[in-house]
Amino acid sequence: MAFYVNPLNEKGDFELIDGELAELYPHLDFKQLAELTNAQYQEFCERNNGKTKFINGEFVFEEITVDLTALLREQRALMWEKIKQKRHDNLRGGVYVKSIGKWFHSNDESRQQYTFLRTLDALPPNLMWKTMDNSFVQVTKAILDELSLQLVLDEQADFTNAERHKALMEQAESPLDYDFSDGWTETFAEVTDE
């Protein structure tokens, strides 16, 4: 099987043509094209990176240089975003109120409601709240205080854990392979899956 190079311009741009497909190029005189040796074709296949030129009957291979520092910086930034997303998702996976043994929602809307309730001088009488297991409990100031404190403690714990993972990931040889799955506060889904 023969391969030919059809030079396109003086800059070294070219097209590589499979001799078996010569009938697709009726306008070309294959005697005028450069026929590649097996060694030239093999070298082209091994080294071509899309920037190869054909000048004076020879391939000129442009080496691609990779800025490893920039690549590492990009990988670290990507993993840091994933760690922050894990922290964000984890903190919206529920908050456990130990005194009553119930999980409360901790998504952004619920957090706003808890904050609003804390601003009231007194809670509405017999305020019933749906928990994550679909049961209802009566919310008191004491429960609201415990819930709010646990939200803050969980946020601080997961913030600290995210920073720990960031520091370890930045020391890893391969940041994209770093496992940041440990050390997070428990979520309702994790507890109910166990």
* 192's tokens: 């109910």
Distance CA 59, CA 81 (A): 43
Three-class SS of residue 128? strand
Is the Cβ–Cβ distance between 157 and 175 less than 8 Å? no
* Domain extents in the chain: 3-60, 68-193
The helix (run of H) or strand (run of E) holding residue 91 is none
Phi, psi (deg, nearest 5) at residue 16: -95, 130
Query: Which tens digits make up the pLDDT trace of 80-124?
Result: 999 999 999 999 999 999 999 999 999 999 999 999 999 999 999
Ranges 5-14, 84-93, 165-174: which has the least confidence: 5-14
Phi, psi (deg, nearest 5) at residue 128: -100, 140
Query: Which tens digits make up the pLDDT trace of 115-144?
Result: 999 999 999 999 999 999 999 999 999 999
Q: Which residue has the tokens 């901790």?
A: 106
- Using CA of residue 173, residue 178, residue 182, residue 184, what is the dihedral sign? positive
Share of the chain above pLDDT 90, in %: 69
